[in-house]
Amino acid sequence: MAIKEDVYTRIFKIISYVIIIIASIACLLPFLLIISASLTSNESIIRDGYHFIPQQFSLEGYRTVFTFPEEVLRAYGVTIFTTVVGTTLGLFLMTMAGYVLARKDFKYRNAFSFYIYFTTLFGGGLVPWYIMLTKYLGLLDTYTVLIFPGLMTPFLIILMKNFIRSSMPEELFESAKIDGAGDFKIYYRIVLPLSTPGIATVGLFLALAYWNDWFSSSLFINDPHKYQLQYYLYNVINSMQFIAQMGAGTGVSLSNDMPTESTKMAMAIVVTGPILLLYPFIQRYFVKGLTIGAVKG
Amino acid sequence: MTFTKKRKQRMSILIAVMVIMALLAGCGGGSGNSAQKANGEDDKSQKVQLQFYMLGDAPKDLSTIEAEINKLAEKDLNATVKFNYTTWTDWDQKYKLLLSSGQPIDLIFTADWTQYQAYAKKGAFLPLDDLLPKASPALQKFVPQDMWDGVKIGGKIYTVPGTYKEYVTNGFVWREDLREKYNLPKPTDIKSYEAYMDGIRQHEPNMKTVSLNSDIKGNLHDRYTELVTKSVGALPYGIGIKYEKPTEVYKYWGSDEQKEELNTYKRWADKGFIPKNVLNVKDTLQDQVTSGKAASIFGDNPTRFNDMVIKLKASHPDWKLEYYPFPLTTGYATPVHPIHNGFAIPKSSPNPARALAFYEKLVTDKRYNLLTQYGIEGKNYEVKDGYYHMIGSGSSNGFSREGMNSWAWRNPEYMLFDSGFDRVKKIFAELDKIQKPDLFTGFAEDYTTYQAEKAALEQVEKQYLYPLQAGLIDNVDQGLQTFLQKANQAGLEKIQTEYTKQWEAYVKEKGIK
C-alpha cells in the first residue's frame, strides 16, 4: 500500500505542476508561432500579422530556403567542425592547465594562476583584440579564428583547477610517482579518468559556447562560405532590418531578393530543428555530468 | 607487450593532437605584400593581391566573377583582387574596425552615410591628389572636375566619386487604382495628401492610410522638412537651414514651423492615420504597400518606387501605383552629391598606385565594368533591345543586376537598365529641369568637442521627441516644452552653437551664398 500523501505535499505538487505547465507553455508558444509563420504566405503575415493557425497556408518559405540548401548545410558543417575540434582541443588544454596549476610542487603556480585570473579583471578591449588577431596572428578569414580565441577560458581553467585539487589528494600523485609514473602518465592515467565529471561540465560549457558563437564570424570572417550557423541565421534576419532603416534615405537599391518574413521563420526552423531533435537523446548525459560535477566539485 | 601497446596508443593520440594544432596554426593567411619601391613608384613586375572591401552581402556567384576579373587583371596589371564583404548586419562596427586596425586594405567603399567626411577628416584615407595623375590618368579625366572638387575635404581628394547621376529625393507614393475608384485628389502637398488619406480612411476602413514603422523620424520628420520647410538636408540637433538661405542657421526646435509640423502629426494620429503602436512596427514601408496593408508612403525615392511597381506587377497586376516627386512642389531637385558613392584608399594600403590602376579599369574598361555590374553575359544576364534581362529568377540566378553592390563604379556609358527603369528615367528627366546642387552633403561635422552632449541629446530625443512626432502626446505645446527643457539640460545650446560655427566656416570655404 502506498503511503498516503499529506495535504501539504499534495498542495506543493499541484502548485509545482501548475508552474511547470505555465512555464512550458510559455516556452512552446513562441516556437509554435514560428512554425505557423513559416507555413504562412508572406503577404498574409504582413497584412494580418502572426497567427497560431496559418491564415494562408504556403510552403514558399521552405522552398526559398531549399533552393540553395548547400548554404545552410555548409554553415552547419562549419559549426559542427568548430564545436568538435574546439571542444576537444579546449578540454585537452584546460585539463592540462588545471592539473599543472593544482600540483603543489609546481613552483610558479601562484604566479601563473594570478596571470590567468588577472585577465578576467582587465581586458584590452575590442580594437586591440581585433588588431592582435588579424594583424599579428594573421587569422582573418580562417577557421582557426573561430576556434582559437575560445580555447582557454580563465573561468573554466580555475574551475578545472579547483575540481582537480579538491577531488584528488596530493598523496595520490606521490604514490603514483613512487610506483614509477612520470608526470604525463599521472595526467593521463590518474587525473583524466578521475575528473570525468569535471570534464563533462567544462566540455558542456565549451561546446555550448562554440555552438552559439556568432561574434567571431561577424568580426573576422568575410567569406560567406565560412559563416557559422548562428551568424548565418542572424545575418539573414538582420539584413531585412537594415533595408528598413537605411534604404529609403540612401537610395541603396538592393536588387537581390530579400528574405521575406516567412523565409526567415522557415530558416529558423531548419536551423534549430535538428538540434531540437537531437537534444532529447543527449540530454541525459548533460544532466548526469552537471549533477556529478555539482555534488563532488 | 600491453605496456608498449598502450604507450603507442598514447603517443599516437598526442601526435594527433599536435598535428591538429599545427594544422590550425598553419591556416593563418599571408598578410599584405607591397610592391611599392622606396621612392614611392609602383613596381609592376611584382605581383600583388589587392584587398577590396565592400558593404553588404556577397552575391552567390562572386567566386566565378572574381576568377574572371583576376584573369583580366593578371594580364593587364599583374595583380589579383580579393573582394571582401562586411554583411549588412554589423557593417558599421566592422567598418570602424577595418579602418582603425591598420589592416592592409587597398580599396574601401565610402558614402555620406558611412561617414566619409568624418573619416577623411580624421586621416583614415590616403589623399589622392598626387597619385591620380600618375597611377590613373584616364580615371582622373573620366570624372568631371566639379565632382573631384565636390568630394574634397580640407582641400584634398580622398575618394573616387561615382559619376552616375541619380536622385534620391522623396515623393508621394500612392495607390492610383483606389484614388480613381473613390475620386480622391492627387497628393502634391500636405493638404492634398491629407485629403487623399481622409478618403482612404472613409472608404477602406481596414486599410492603413499611410505606411509607417518604428523609424518615425525618418518616415515623417525627414520627409516633412524636405517637402515643407525646404531644408538643405536631414539636419540634426534641431538645427534649421533653408535651401534658399543656406548661410542663415536658425533654431528649428521650438519654432512655429515645428509646432505646425507636430500639430499635423497630432491631427493625423487623431484621425487614425498613425497607429498607436507605430513605434513597435518593424515591417518595411514598401512591404506594407505591396501586400495591400497600406495605401500610401509619405515619401520614397524614384528607384525604390520603381522596385515596388515591378513587384506589384507580378503579384497584383490589377493594382496601380503612382508617384509624385516632392521637388515638383518645392521647385528644386538635388541630384546625389558626389560623396554619395565612392571608393577610397585607406592609409594602410600597401599598394595604393596599383589599387587606383585597378579601379580605373573597373570604371573605364567595358569588360571589367560589365562583368562586375551584371555578371557573365549568357549565364547571368542577356541584352534584349538594349535592355537588361536577368536569366532565371532572383533566387536561382547567382548574380543579379548590380549584385556586387557596385553602385560606386557605375559607368553611365555602359549601364544597362531593366525595361521597367524607363519610368525612373522619366522622373529623373523631369527633375533634371529643376536641378540644383546638393549643399549639405559636403559638410563634415566634427563632434569631438560635444560628444557627451550629443549622446545625452539622442536619449532625450528618443524619449520625448519621438512620441510627439508619432502624435501620441495629447498636449503638443506642453510636450514640446518638456522636450525642449530636457534637451537644454542635455546641452543643446552648446551643440547648436558649435554646429553653427562649423557650418558657417563650411559655407565660407565653399563660397555658398
Phi, psi of B420 (to 5 degrees): -65, -15
Whichever domain contains A99, its CATH number is 1.10.3720.10
Helix orientation angle between B366-374 and B62-77, rounded to the nearest 10 degrees = 170
The Cα–Cα gap between B497 and B26 comes to: 56
All three cell numbers of B471, joined, read 502624435
Q: pLDDT confidence of B500, banded at 50, 70, 90?
A: very high
Residue A195 domain-assigned? Answer: yes
The Cα–Cα gap between B12 and B22 comes to: 15
Nearest-by-Cβ selection for A127 from B86, B101, B215:
B101
All three cell numbers of A61, joined, read 518559405
All three cell numbers of B348, joined, read 594602410
Q: Answer with the residue of higher pLDDT: B496 or A239.
A: B496
Could B101 and A130 be called an inter-chain contact, meaning their C-beta atoms sit closer than 8 Å?
yes
pLDDT in tens, A98-110: 999 988 888 888 8
Residue A122 domain-assigned? Answer: yes
Phi, psi of B127 (to 5 degrees): -65, 135
All three cell numbers of B264, joined, read 499635423
Give this prediction's pTM. Answer: 0.77
Q: Indicate the helix (H) or strand (E) that contains A295.
A: helix A261-296
Q: Which range is most confident: A50-59, B38-47, B71-80, B226-235?
A: B71-80
Residue A116 domain-assigned? Answer: yes
With 50 as the cut, is the pLDDT of residue B32 above it? no
The Cα–Cα gap between B399 and B372 comes to: 9
Residue A13 domain-assigned? Answer: no
User: What pLDDT score was predicted for residue A78?
Assistant: 92
Residue A35 domain-assigned? Answer: no
A250 contacts on B by Cβ (under 8 Å): 111, 113, 168, 340
**Interface with chain A: mutation pick from B291, B334, B389, B406, highest number of A CBs within 10 Å:** B291
The Cα–Cα gap between B382 and B387 comes to: 8
Could A251 and B340 be called an inter-chain contact, meaning their C-beta atoms sit closer than 8 Å?
yes
Residue A55 CB partners (closer than 8 Å, separation 6+): A40, A44, A48
With 90 as the cut, is the pLDDT of residue A24 above it? yes
Nearest-by-Cβ selection for B284 from A144, A219, A244:
A244
Q: Which range marks the domain in which residue A285 is found?
A: 62-294
User: What pLDDT score was predicted for residue B29?
Assistant: 38
Q: Calculate the average pLDDT of chain B.
A: 85
Closest CA to B107 of B329, B274, B349: B349
The Cα–Cα gap between B240 and B234 comes to: 9
With 90 as the cut, is the pLDDT of residue A18 above it? yes
Q: Are strands B387-390 and B48-54 parallel, antiparallel or unpaired?
A: unpaired
**Interface with chain A: mutation pick from B4, B24, B319, highest number of A CBs within 10 Å:** B24
pLDDT in tens, B34-73: 666 555 566 777 888 999 999 888 888 888 999 999 999 9
Residue A1 touches partner B, C-beta closer than 8 Å? no
Q: pLDDT confidence of B287, banded at 50, 70, 90?
A: confident
With 50 as the cut, is the pLDDT of residue A255 above it? no
Q: Which range is most confident: A249-263, B138-152, B385-399?
A: B138-152
With 90 as the cut, is the pLDDT of residue B217 above it? no
Search chain A and give the residue with CA nearest B408: A252
User: What pLDDT score was predicted for residue A257?
Assistant: 54
Closest CA to A256 of A268, A266, A245, A247: A247
Cβ proximity of B365 and B371 under 8 Å: no
User: What pLDDT score was predicted for residue A207?
Assistant: 87
Helix orientation angle between B451-460 and B492-510, rounded to the nearest 10 degrees = 120
Question: Domain count of chain A?
Answer: 1
Residue B91, classed as helix, strand or coil, is: helix
A248 contacts on B by Cβ (under 8 Å): 170, 218, 285, 299-301, 304
All three cell numbers of B59, joined, read 552575391
Could A89 and B103 be called an inter-chain contact, meaning their C-beta atoms sit closer than 8 Å?
no
With 90 as the cut, is the pLDDT of residue A26 above it? yes
- Calculate what percentage of chain A has a pLDDT beyond 90: 16
With 60 as the cut, is the pLDDT of residue B2 above it? no
Residue A49 domain-assigned? Answer: no
Q: Based on the number of CB atoms within 10 Å of its own CB, is B311 exposed (0-12), middle (13-18) or buried (19 or more)?
A: middle
Q: How far is CA B450 from CA B116, B241, B442, B497, B508, in A?
A: 20, 20, 21, 10, 22
Residue A45 domain-assigned? Answer: no
Would you tell me which residues 13-72 of chain A have a C-beta closer than 8 angstroms to some C-beta of chain B?
42-43, 46-47, 64, 67-68
Residue A4 domain-assigned? Answer: no
Search chain A and give the residue with CA nearest B293: A47
Nearest-by-Cβ selection for A85 from B20, B28, B394:
B20
Alpha carbon dihedral B40, B43, B44, B49, in 10-degree steps, equals: -80
Cβ proximity of B299 and B170 under 8 Å: yes
What's the gap in Å between the CA of A153 and the closest CA on chain B? 18
What's the gap in Å between the CA of A233 and the closest CA on chain B? 11
Closest CA to B212 of B146, B285, B163: B285
Nearest-by-Cβ selection for B213 from A144, A218, A244:
A244
Mean pLDDT computed over B80-88 = 88
Mean pLDDT computed over B427-452 = 86
